[in-house]
Each structure stands twice: as structure tokens, then as C-alpha cells.
């Protein structure tokens, strides 16, 4: 038996822990945490954003990076979501190291093992939809197996306001279901 319980409070799980890296007009790096996002086409990511230092930044540079939160980076990932770059240099405060992407005008935060380098494809200030073209990706050697990325990302669980690790393989995509065809 199912019980109606949450009204319109979001219990959509999983949500991502997308860390959006940007530079301001003076080349000062910043990062923010975003849960609402997804792959929206081959080579494309869509994120839903309110107005932040981050949005001011990519409006000027036309670029951003997206890294993925992990258990090792949970503290800095949450920090990037509870402080604004309008007041403080979060990258410095978090003790992070950055270098500029070779492809877009946005920072790669070296503490994260996987980063997408994106050009702004469209940004709608009415809806808050940011669409980015993924022009390149950087992965740490430690998560590459035979050219495949094997990451154990964290997800945001809005029911518990918690971060959870994912990683266990429980099935074969485009495979298990074929048994019922």
C-alpha cells in the first residue's frame, strides 16, 4: 500500500552533485554546487540555476566546467553550495588547486577526478536553464580502466539532505531487459 506524504516537496532521487567552475572577469576562480542537472543530448549538459556569482561569471566568459562530487570531496562540495563567491574566494578557502582548461575559459579544480569542459550553448535567465556544449573532459588516471571512466560519485538525497555514494553494479543496461523480449 502506498501512502501520500510529501506534497510537492522534492523526493526525486538521485540528484547530482555537479560542481560548476567559472572564472570572473579578472580570472578569479569560483565553484558552486548544483543538484539539478542532467545529460540532455550527446555532448550536452543542462543545469537549472538561480542567479549566483557563477551565473554572473559565465555570462561574461561564455564557459564553465562541471566536476562530480565524490566521497573524498564531500566537504568542499557542500561548502561550494553554502557560501557565495560574491563574498569570499571559495577556491582559496577550500584549499583547492586549479588550472585553466585548455579548451574553454574556465577552471579545472584538481581535487576532483572527473571534469567536463563546457561552452555556454544557451542561458535563459527567465527559466534558469543553462545548456552547455561539452567540448572536452579530463579524467584522473585513477578512475580510468581501459579507456572507461569508473567513478564512484556521490548523489544528493533531498529527503534526508544527505550525500550518498553510488557505485555497485546491479545490472546490465540494454542487456538484462532483453531477456523478457
Q: Contact residues for ligand FMN (CB under 6 A)?
A: 30, 32-36, 48-50, 52-54, 78, 81-86, 156
**Complex with ligand FMN: residue 10 or 177, whichever CB lies closer:** 10
Distance of closest approach, residue 169 Cβ to ligand FMN, in angstroms:
26
**Complex with ligand FMN: residue 50 or 178, whichever CB lies closer:** 50
**Complex with ligand FMN: residue 78 or 133, whichever CB lies closer:** 78
**Complex with ligand FMN: residue 84 or 137, whichever CB lies closer:** 84
Q: Which residue is nearest to ligand FMN (CB)?
A: 81
Sequence-separated contacts (24+) of 83-86 with Cβ below 8 Å? 84/52, 84/53, 85/24, 85/28, 85/30, 85/31, 85/32, 85/52, 85/53, 85/54, 85/57, 86/53
CA distance 139 to 137: 7
Distance of closest approach, residue 141 Cβ to ligand FMN, in angstroms:
28
Q: Minimal CA–CA distance to 120: which of 22, 16, 15?
A: 22
Amino acid at each position: 500500500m502506498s501512502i501520500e506524504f510529501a506534497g510537492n516537496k522534492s523526493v526525486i532521487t538521485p540528484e547530482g552533485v555537479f560542481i560548476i567552475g567559472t572564472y570572473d572577469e579578472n580570472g578569479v576562480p569560483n565553484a558552486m554546487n548544483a543538484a539539478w542537472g542532467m545529460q540532455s543530448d550527446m555532448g550536452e549538459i543542462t543545469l537549472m540555476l538561480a542567479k549566483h556569482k557563477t551565473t554572473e561569471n559565465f555570462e561574461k566568459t561564455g564557459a564553465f566546467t562541471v566536476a562530480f562530487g565524490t566521497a573524498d570531496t564531500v566537504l568542499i562540495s557542500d561548502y561550494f553550495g553554502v557560501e557565495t563567491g560574491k563574498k569570499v574566494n571559495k577556491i582559496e578557502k577550500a584549499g583547492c588547486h586549479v588550472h585553466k582548461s585548455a579548451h574553454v575559459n574556465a577552471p579545472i579544480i584538481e581535487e576532483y577526478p572527473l571534469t567536463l569542459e563546457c561552452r555556454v550553448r544557451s542561458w535563459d535567465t527567465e527559466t534558469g536553464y543553462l545548456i552547455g556544449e561539452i567540448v572536452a573532459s579530463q579524467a584522473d588516471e585513477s578512475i580510468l580502466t581501459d579507456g572507461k571512466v569508473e567513478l564512484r560519485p556521490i548523489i544528493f538525497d533531498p529527503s534526508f539532505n544527505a550525500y550518498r555514494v553510488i557505485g555497485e553494479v546491479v545490472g546490465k543496461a540494454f542487456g538484462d531487459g532483453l531477456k523478457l523480449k
